[in-house]
Amino acid sequence: MNDGTVSQTEEHITEAAISNSSAKIFPSGTLLIALYGATVGKLGVLKIDAATNQAVCAIFTKGNIERDFLFYYLLKQRERLVERRTGGAQPNISQEIIRELEVPFPPLPEQQRIAEVLFKADRLRRLRRTARELSDTYLQSVFLEMFGDPVSNPMGWEIKGVGSQIRSIRYGTGSPPLYQEEGIPFIRATNIKGGTVQTEGLVHISKDAAKEIAKCKVSAGDLILVRSGVNTGDCALIPPEYDGAYAAYDLIIEVSYPQNYYYNFIINSGYGKSIIQPLSRRAGQPHINAEQVKSLQFPSPPTSLQKEFAQVAQRFERLRVQQREAERQSEHLFQTLLHRAFRGEM
């Protein structure tokens, strides 16, 4: 269940299991809400007849409330429901909490109008998200077409050490400065994902704090590689909008164009991960150092071909920026309408 329709499932049970257990088959159109664990409050609307386990509550509405209106109201109330979780290892909400939830009852035609407006805004944000997800595989296809699978190296590219291509490599700060809402962007490991810098959870530092960690300053085109923690080995190319930002306790790698685009992609690929992960194993948390990065060896295609790939990657990233902004705007529109709808302002 992921706040949308449910038309297929990962698991199935037999008719005999239905007959010999408390499980019930709910008809297509049933509204579902998750009661247990990290998924508390997640919603779904069945598009198939299906059974559920005890972690899912089925809701059947009467004639005075529109199902989709209730769906969006429950979505709006998720934080409130999550706050009411009880229990230890697997916190949950009860059916009683759902039953006691107060719901506004505007006239049925008004409920239908509100649900229709929210559905359209919801569909728009889902389409934006799907477009971004579909584009995720584009650059991988281009890479394989131009360079072949790096595991088998079918084009016979010379194998070279990364160290021979690096101008410099240095560490970010081990003692994070005081964060603030505005100021100079400060990139942490959690911001490094998908080969670029993600804005979600990005913090900022003051100019005075930046002076104390001058070595941590990054430039557009630098590579930044997570050196410890759960996402050790994740790599990002610093985009132009973060030129002059500062970085946390990670490796800041200066690589000439166009090799920086090539190495960013290959380090983040499954092939790159398979090489880095054995190097990062430690008794405690995973960790990798500068010398280990310099020792990495990858196929090294001609510079002209790497430049061609870099140009494609640059055009692709401009498209991704547009996609992310479109997704952000559609999400903002939906959340705004969701809040206004149940305040009687729509």
Question: How does pLDDT run across 112-123, given as a tens digit for each residue?
Answer: 999 999 999 999
Percent of the residues in the chain that have a pLDDT greater than 90, as a whole number:
65
Q: Is residue 268 located within the same domain as residue 169?
A: yes
Report pLDDT for 66: 93
Quick one: 13 and 97 in the same domain? yes
pLDDT of residue 230: 83
- Beta strand extents in 276-315 (DSSP E only): 297-300
Q: Stretch 146-161: mean pLDDT, rounded?
A: 95
pLDDT for the residue numbered 207: 93
| pLDDT at residue 25 is higher than 70 | yes
Whether 218 and 282 map to the same domain: the answer is: yes
Residue 326 banded pLDDT, cuts 50, 70, 90: very high
**What's the pLDDT score for residue 345?**
84
Average pLDDT, stretch 164-192? 89
Q: Which of 105, 140, 173 is where one domain is finished?
A: 105
Which residues does 46 contact at the CB level (< 8 Å), separation at least 6? 5, 6, 26, 27, 28, 29, 30, 32
Are 95 and 164 found together in one domain?
Answer: no
- Is the pLDDT at 251 greater than 70? The verdict is yes
Q: Does 87 score more than 80 pLDDT?
A: no
Q: Are residues 295 and 314 in the same domain?
A: no
Domain holding 187, by residue range, is 158-300
Q: Model confidence over 51-63: pLDDT tens digits?
A: 998 889 999 988 8
Residue 278: the pLDDT is 87
Confidence at 341, pLDDT banded by 50, 70, 90: very high
Q: Within this chain, do residues 282 and 206 fall inside the same structural domain, yes or no?
A: yes
pLDDT the model gives residue 113: 96
Q: What's the rounded mean pLDDT across residues 327-338? A: 95
Q: Same domain, yes or no, for 280 and 204?
A: yes
Same domain, 35 and 169: no
On whether the CB atoms of residues 128 and 313 are closer than 8 A, the answer is no
Say what the pLDDT of residue 206 is. 95
Hey, what are 315's tokens? 């055009």
- On whether both 112 and 100 belong to a single domain, the answer is no
Q: What mean pLDDT do residues 256-285 have?
A: 88
Residue 266 has pLDDT above 80, yes or no: yes
Torsion angles phi and psi, residue 319, rounded to 5? -65, -40
How does residue 172 score in pLDDT terms, banded at 50, 70 and 90? confident
| CATH code for position 9 | 3.90.220.20
Shared-domain flag, residues 73 and 143: no
Q: What is the pLDDT of residue 246?
A: 94
Give the predicted TM-score (pTM) of the model. 0.73
pLDDT one-digit tens code per residue, 205-233: 999 999 999 989 999 999 999 998 888 99
Same domain, 331 and 293: no
What pLDDT does 23 receive?
Answer: 83
Among 65, 88, 105, where does a domain finish? 105
Dihedral sign of CA atoms 227, 161, 295, 278 in order? positive
Position 283 confidence tier, pLDDT thresholds 50, 70, 90? low
Task: Clarify whether residues 206 and 313 are in a common domain.
Answer: no
DSSP state of 190: G
pLDDT of the residue at 120: 97
If one counts the domains in the chain, the total is 3
